[in-house]
């Protein structure tokens, strides 16, 4: 039995399909090897393709397994109806069959796959199947895409600067009696480690602490949705959903989805014209006329070149900085991964590129294995991997975390072996991706705090703030960054008038609760509260003051319960709805209205010495995720969304 965390459904990289039945499993396995057209019997299965998809049908809105720790708002499966769509009629049955077959073949040929593991008492085996994908790309305004790309280096810089501001992180996460850390053990542990390693006397006071001489590598992904502009119903603005600073995944798979979509939209351009043009009008307005001269369709996705390149820059710099005490031990990059990981193809593509383009070996290791598999030299801070015989094998230049973002990645508890391993890595001189500071800068509480007037501005010089943005909007950089923020509100002790006003609106009625999302400090999809569940969660944890003592709350004022301190409240975004065909395990899961979320990767390498200019800082590729519009949650791995790409218009 794998570790408990491998069962965790909210995991960023575990593929689950709760609607899997034995029949479905058999079909999936068959499709893996032969990609057959489904037989008549498979059409009885709710996810089976072709004949039934143009008729009114039912799909499950919640596609991941249930989990005890999941809020009730997202743990129940409800059914909803996807209405027959006239636009989809432009794709006939044969064309759909051709497209689906091409997608499955392309997935096998190019590595657009996820691993599935079978474990029995005597052995375990793996097979690979087509990743959850949208069959075709989704229209996205070129202007907003460009804006997201140009924001990437600025968010990189922001994360680096926050990571060095211990007082800001402490105030934001631990300020007051009821703070995020008073309610969330996991964030508390991260902050405690951060304080003991980077604050206090750090390296000066503790000679076994080399973190302060380690460079910092960020491989980040800022996620955005288009949101209807309040002043103009035909116009959509780019709004940030969240900033992922740890284990930002899908660079590899996203590159191949873009390749598939480019191929299909070019190869079948005539057949798909009606669908693509109609979707383009949804995001560009009714009067949109596609311009065949400037229309570039699906852009090239550089993620598989740029992300390994950033790792190479970090690796090379480490090698040159610590050249003096170099020994004959080869150097490698360490990938810290989850046991039972299924998003391995995505990770392996980075590993293979590192070897092919840069001749850098990669060692994969789980946190649990790291406790015995790593050793640090107490005099230099060099981190080494050990082989099965306990002998030193490689010196680690960069530790790249694809695990560690959820409490379930540390099954041995808060003082257990996984946290000890994380601490050892952090204390070493190896470049961490991310360092603890980068990790904490990506928390949802920090995101909310940055939205307060003047807080984002603190992290940029006046000169930087005034620089013209290169997002195409003609505004300055600060306005561009702020313009991407949605409404974000605190439910903690630091709540201010505007926060309380938002909370009141969110619990007033169904319309009010529909305008917000309630989020705890978790990563990986599946934890948020929406609608009635959101209202209930808040109402269960607030009271109304009855005191009119002037030192206490005003009579009738909202009193927030301490349990709300770990949550933030966010304005709900409403992206344009487009027609899509979504595939899971290579089979058509359903067709209907969908919404999308754009992710923009950014990479940064910063010297340990903050006074130096960044060594590397750039946009590094994109990802689009698409889900049915009636699905609240996101996350491909957690079974809510599929991988897609933008069709620029």
Residues that bind ligand ADP (CB under 6 A): 223, 241-242, 486, 517, 519, 522-525, 527-528, 570-573, 597, 633-635
SS3 643: strand
In whole angstroms, give the CA distance from residue 115 to residue 14: 9
In whole angstroms, give the CA distance from residue 56 to residue 350: 41
CB of 257 to Mg ion, least distance (A): 18
* Whether the Cβ atoms of residue 572 and residue 510 lie closer than 8 Å to each other: no
Contact partner at residue 597 from Mg ion, ligand ADP, none, CB < 5 to 8 Å by partner kind = ligand ADP
Nearer to Mg ion, 444 or 584 (CB): 444
Query: How far out from the chain centre does Cα 169 lie?
Result: 21
Strands 431-433 and 488-490: unpaired
Q: Would you state the structure tokens that stand for residue 444, as one six-digit string?
A: 């949802």
Nearer to ligand ADP, 487 or 614 (CB): 487
Binding residues for ATP: 444, 519-528, 530, 597, 627, 633
Report the b/e string of 59-94 with b at 16+ CB within 10 A.
Answer: bbbbbbbebeebbebbbeeeebebeebeebebbeee
CB of 132 to ligand ADP, least distance (A): 14
Those residues whose C-beta lies under 8 Å from the C-beta of residue 438, and which sit 6 or more positions away, are 159, 160, 163, 216, 218, 220, 245, 246, 432
- Edge-first strand order for the sheet with 488-490 is 488-490, 568-571, 516-519, 529-530
CB of 331 to Mg ion, least distance (A): 33
Nearer to ligand ADP, 311 or 595 (CB): 595
* Whether the Cβ atoms of residue 299 and residue 648 lie closer than 8 Å to each other: yes
Contact partner at residue 570 from Mg ion, ligand ADP, none, CB < 5 to 8 Å by partner kind = ligand ADP
What binding mask, one character per residue, do residues 593-622 give for Mg ion by CB under 5 A, x or -?
A: ------------------------------
CB of 525 to ligand ADP, least distance (A): 4
Other CB atoms closer than 10 Å to residue 359's CB: what's the count?
A: 8
Nearer to ligand ADP, 410 or 640 (CB): 640
* Whether the Cβ atoms of residue 146 and residue 413 lie closer than 8 Å to each other: no
Contact partner at residue 169 from Mg ion, ligand ADP, none, CB < 5 to 8 Å by partner kind = none
Contact partner at residue 579 from ligand ADP, Mg ion, none, CB < 5 to 8 Å by partner kind = none
In whole angstroms, give the CA distance from residue 501 to residue 504: 5
Nearer to ligand ADP, 416 or 531 (CB): 531
CB of 523 to Mg ion, least distance (A): 7
HSE-up of 360 (CA within 13 Å, CB side)?
27
Among all residues, whose Cβ is closest to Mg ion?
242
How far from 116 is each of 62, 113, 340, 341, 564, CA to CA, in Å? 20, 10, 9, 9, 38
What binding mask, one character per residue, do residues 226-245 give for Mg ion by CB under 5 A, x or -?
A: ----------------x---
Contact partner at residue 251 from ligand ADP, Mg ion, none, CB < 5 to 8 Å by partner kind = none
Nearer to Mg ion, 237 or 242 (CB): 242
Contact partner at residue 517 from ligand ADP, Mg ion, none, CB < 5 to 8 Å by partner kind = ligand ADP
Other CB atoms closer than 10 Å to residue 266's CB: what's the count?
A: 11
Contact partner at residue 519 from ligand ADP, Mg ion, none, CB < 5 to 8 Å by partner kind = ligand ADP
CB of 439 to Mg ion, least distance (A): 15
Q: Compute the C-alpha angle 424/425/427, nearest 5°.
A: 65
Binding residues: 347, 444, 519-528, 530, 597, 625, 627, 633
Q: Would you state the structure tokens that stand for residue 450, as one six-digit string?
A: 């940055």
CB of 620 to Mg ion, least distance (A): 18
CB of 595 to ligand ADP, least distance (A): 8
Contact partner at residue 566 from ligand ADP, Mg ion, none, CB < 5 to 8 Å by partner kind = none
Among all residues, whose Cβ is closest to ligand ADP?
634
How far from 67 is each of 72, 250, 336, 568, 649, CA to CA, in Å? 9, 24, 24, 22, 40
Nearer to ligand ADP, 407 or 635 (CB): 635
Binding residues for Mg(2+): 523
Q: Enumerate binding residues for Mg ion (CB under 5 A).
A: 242
């Amino acid at each position: 039995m794998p570790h408990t965390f491998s069962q965790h459904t909210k995991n960023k990289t575990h593929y689950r399909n709760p609607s899997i039945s034995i029949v479905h499993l058999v079909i999936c396995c068959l499709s893996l090897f032969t990609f057959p057209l489904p037989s008549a019997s498979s059409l009885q299965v709710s996810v089976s393709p072709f004949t039934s998809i143009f008729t009114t049908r039912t799909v499950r809105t919640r596609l991941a397994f249930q989990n005890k720790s999941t809020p009730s708002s997202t743990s129940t499966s409800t059914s909803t109806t996807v209405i027959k769509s006239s636009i989809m009629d432009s794709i006939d049955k044969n064309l759909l069959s051709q497209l689906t077959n091409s997608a499955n073949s392309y997935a096998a040929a190019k590595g657009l796959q996820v691993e599935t593991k079978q474990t029995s008492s005597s052995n375990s085996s793996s097979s690979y199947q087509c990743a959850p994908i949208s069959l075709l790309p989704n229209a996205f305004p070129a202007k907003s895409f460009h804006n997201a790309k140009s924001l990437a280096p600025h968010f990189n810089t922001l994360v680096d600067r926050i990571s060095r501001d211990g007082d800001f992180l402490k105030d934001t996460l631990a300020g007051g009696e009821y703070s995020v850390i008073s309610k969330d053990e996991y964030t508390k542990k991260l902050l405690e480690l951060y304080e003991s390693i980077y604050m206090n006397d750090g390296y000066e006071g503790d000679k076994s602490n080399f973190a302060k001489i380690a460079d910092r590598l960020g491989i980040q992904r800022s996620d955005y949705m288009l949101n209807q502009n309040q002043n103009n119903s035909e116009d959509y603005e780019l709004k940030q959903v969240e900033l992922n600073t740890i284990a930002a995944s899908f660079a590899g798979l996203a590159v191949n989805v873009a390749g598939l979509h480019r191929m299909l939209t070019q190869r079948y351009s005539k057949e798909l014209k009606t669908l693509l043009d109609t979707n383009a009008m949804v995001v560009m307005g009714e009067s949109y006329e596609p311009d065949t001269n400037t229309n570039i369709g699906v852009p090239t996705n550089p993620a598989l070149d740029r992300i390994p390149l950033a790792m190479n820059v970090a690796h090379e710099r480490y090698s040159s900085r610590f050249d003096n005490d170099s020994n004959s031990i080869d150097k490698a990059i360490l990938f810290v991964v989850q046991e039972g990981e299924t998003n391995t193809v995505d990770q392996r593509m980075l590993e293979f590129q590192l070897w092919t383009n840069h001749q850098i070996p990669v060692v994969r290791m789980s946190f649990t294995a790291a406790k015995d598999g790593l050793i640090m030299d107490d005099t230099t801070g060099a981190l080494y991997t050990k082989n099965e015989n306990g002998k030193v094998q490689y010196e680690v230049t960069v530790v790249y975390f694809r695990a560690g973002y959820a409490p379930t990645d540390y099954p041995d508890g808060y003082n257990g072996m996984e946290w000890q391993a994380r601490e050892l890595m952090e204390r070493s001189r190896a470049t961490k991706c991310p360092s603890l500071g980068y990790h904490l800068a990506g928390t949802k509480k920090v995101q909310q705090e940055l939205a307060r007037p003047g807080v984002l501005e603190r992290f940029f010089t006046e000169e930087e703030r005034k620089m013209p943005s290169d997002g195409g909007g003609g505004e300055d950089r600060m306005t561009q960054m702020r313009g991407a923020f949605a409404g974000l509100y605190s439910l903690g002790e630091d709540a201010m008038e505007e926060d309380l006003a938002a909370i009141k609106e969110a619990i007033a009625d169904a319309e009010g609760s529909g305008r917000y999302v309630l989020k705890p400090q978790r990563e990986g999809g599946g934890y948020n509260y929406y609608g009635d569940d959101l209202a209930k969660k808040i109402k269960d944890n607030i009271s109304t003051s009855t005191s009119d003592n002037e030192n206490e709350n005003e009579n009738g004022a909202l009193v927030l319960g301490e349990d709300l301190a770990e949550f933030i409240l966010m304005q709900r975004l409403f992206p344009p709805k487009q027609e899509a065909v979504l595939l899971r395990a290579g089979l058509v899961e359903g067709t209907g209205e969908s919404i999308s979320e754009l992710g923009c990767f950014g990479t940064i390498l910063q010297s340990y010495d903050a006074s130096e200019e960044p060594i590397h800082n750039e946009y590094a590729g994109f990802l689009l995720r698409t889900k049915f519009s009636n699905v609240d949650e996101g996350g491909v791995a957690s079974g809510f969304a599929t991988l897609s790409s933008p069709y620029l218009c």
